[in-house]
Amino acid sequence: MTTVKDCTLIEIPVVEDYRGNLGVIEKDAIPFNFKRVYYLYDVPSSAARGGHAHKNLYQFLIPLSGSFDVILNDGIEKKTVTLNKPNIGLLLVPGIWRELENFSSGSICLVLASDEYNELDYIRHYQKFIDFKAKK
């Protein structure tokens, strides 16, 4: 059974240059091959995103600009991670309820996902999430 401790920060390799830095995600930079890329932007500071869990999907969240909080919940323990450096991303494992909030002005959250969109992989109601975790 996955826990919030399985959601880890991963430093993205950076090529530093006086003209600007270049973050690189290739080979084994993250522990899964990604099949989908999307991003969140223009999120009002009072809004929350997420509010769901995945049964099988892995995700890697990168704060390309600005900052935001990721609240992780495994059904027993909660943990808040603030993402605010574009060279450090957060690995989200399956079976973790997540909420994103406190978006700063101009923040951009890039998400790399291990599979294409599949509604059947989502757990969108918290009680169903708790029931899912109890079965594991």
* Per-residue pLDDT, 104: 97
Does residue 72 contact residue 5 with C-beta atoms inside 8 Å? no
Q: What is the pLDDT of residues 34-84, one digit of tens each?
A: 999 999 999 999 999 999 999 999 999 999 999 999 999 999 999 999 999
* Per-residue pLDDT, 89: 98
pLDDT band at 129; cut points 50, 70, 90:
very high
Q: What is the pLDDT of residues 77-112, one digit of tens each?
A: 999 999 999 999 999 999 999 999 999 999 999 999
* Per-residue pLDDT, 112: 98
Q: Is 52 a catalytic residue?
A: yes
Whole-model pTM: value is: 0.95
CATH assignment of the domain containing 93: 2.60.120.10
* Per-residue pLDDT, 136: 74
Domain count, the chain: 1
> 71 is written with which tokens?
């609240």
Q: Hey, what amino acid is at 6? A: D
* pLDDT of 9 strictly over 90: yes
Does residue 123 contact residue 129 with C-beta atoms inside 8 Å? yes
Beta strands at 88-92 and 49-54: parallel, antiparallel or unpaired: unpaired
Domain that holds residue 130: 4-135
* Per-residue pLDDT, 57: 98
pLDDT band at 13; cut points 50, 70, 90:
very high
The residues, ordered by sequence, that sit 6+ positions from 39 with a Cβ below 8 Å of its Cβ are: 64, 108, 109, 110, 111
Q: Which of 49, 52, 101, 132 is the catalytic position?
A: 52
| Run of H or E including 129 | helix 126-135
